[in-house]
Structure 1
Amino acid sequence: MQLINGAYRSSPEQAGWTSEGHLLSGPRTDAAALQELITKPAATIFTYRDETQELKGCIFLQPQRGTLYLGLLAVQPAAQAAGIGKKLLAFAEVHAKRYACLSITITVLSARPELAAWYERHGFRATGHTQALPVEDRFGVANRELTLVEMRKELD
């Protein structure tokens, strides 16, 4: 939980490039929300640890009718740009194939074009589906209306 909130909502002086703190305030997740996620069918949160076993990254994965939903990809701000995000994406592809998924689907805030561009460089494309970020405060409190853009990567 600390890793996710640190990656998504770091203070400006600690923020990595993935921070959404300028768009949303409050925690990105809490223990109850994580518990709800991992109780979904076939859902899991995988972690990435360095050679000293320090937690550096995580990713939520859930097979859903032929596609693997990917969420909460988080890397400790100080460890960003070390290739951990790429390793987590590669793991997601292996996991998707285990479940015979033909694609991986994510949602990205439209107000984060640099994040969408990072996913595009890794083979994801916008599907044209969008939805308003839920108003509930479980994702944080938005300082304006925000839209989620669905992106998908087709697998070989």
Structure 2
Amino acid sequence: MTYISISPATEQDVPNLNVLVNGAYRGESSKKGWTTEADLLGGIRTDEAGLRTLLRNPNVTILKYEDAGQLLGCVLLEKKGQDLYLGMLTVSPEAQANGIGKKLLVAAEKMAVEQKRRAITMTVITVRHELIAWYERRGYHATGEKQPFPDDPRFGIQKQPLEFIVMKKAMSTT
């Protein structure tokens, strides 16, 4: 029997979150899944110090998805004005296509409604067409706004020029 839980991460989870996020987005291990950024970016996606800083921010929650105590996914949620920003939606490459990403997205949307947030916003790299389509199938849409990718090696080393589109989904707070 599996025991699945989605709960807020704590600083004790930082080492495992760091391994999960970097393994899902960068390097050879990430290429086992469809969410890899390894062909677009070198370097790391995050580090333990960055994750600790996020968790110490009172406006940030990182939800973790565990099955029988094994960390398989996470998502970052940050209160920004009347909206909830969603980032770092991560599923272990070996566990992808099992609905974990959808479950984390549903949990994020539930949190947004409970907090009476107007919308969930996110940024997605413009060349990630399959990921944009995945979010569109779940009710998110491009706002028309674009943002530059940070020129900072802490977020990865660009292998080509990159930019973000901003996507949004209105939340029903009635």
Q: Is the contact made by 1:57 and 1:75 (CA closer than 8 Å) also made in structure 2?
A: yes
Over the aligned positions, Cα root-mean-square deviation in angstroms equals 1.3
Which residue of structure 1 lines up, in the alignment, with residue 36 of structure 2? 19
**CA–CA distance in structure 2, aligned partners of residues 128 and 13 of structure 1:** 29
Question: Number of paired residues?
Answer: 155
Task: Quote how far apart the aligned CAs of 1:40 are.
Answer: 2.5
1:154 equivalent in alignment to 2:138: no
TM-score, structure 2 normalization? 0.85
1:90 equivalent in alignment to 2:106: yes
2:54 counterpart (22, 25, 37): 37
Task: Quote how far apart the aligned CAs of 1:14 are.
Answer: 4.5
Q: Which runs of 5+ in 2 are unaligned?
A: 1-17
Task: Quote how far apart the aligned CAs of 1:13 are.
Answer: 7.8
Identical pairs, percent: 46
Task: Quote how far apart the aligned CAs of 1:98 are.
Answer: 2.0
1:61 counterpart (32, 53, 77): 77
Which has the larger displacement, 8-17 or 66-75?
A: 8-17
SS at match of 1:6: helix
**CA–CA distance in structure 2, aligned partners of residues 140 and 69 of structure 1:** 20
TM-score, structure 1 normalization? 0.95
Which residue of structure 2 lines up, in the alignment, with residue 78 of structure 1? 94
**CA–CA distance in structure 2, aligned partners of residues 134 and 63 of structure 1:** 21
Which has the larger displacement, 33-42 or 7-16?
A: 7-16
**CA–CA distance in structure 2, aligned partners of residues 14 and 107 of structure 1:** 21
**CA–CA distance in structure 1, aligned partners of residues 40 and 31 of structure 2:** 16
Q: Is the contact made by 1:130 and 1:148 (CA closer than 8 Å) also made in structure 2?
A: yes
Q: Which runs of 5+ in 1 are unaligned?
A: none
Q: Is the contact made by 1:10 and 1:16 (CA closer than 8 Å) also made in structure 2?
A: no
* 1:34–1:13 CA distance, 2 compared to 1 (3 A): closer
| Paired letter, 1:64 | K
| Paired letter, 1:35 | R
Q: Is the contact made by 1:132 and 1:145 (CA closer than 8 Å) also made in structure 2?
A: no
**CA–CA distance in structure 2, aligned partners of residues 77 and 155 of structure 1:** 29
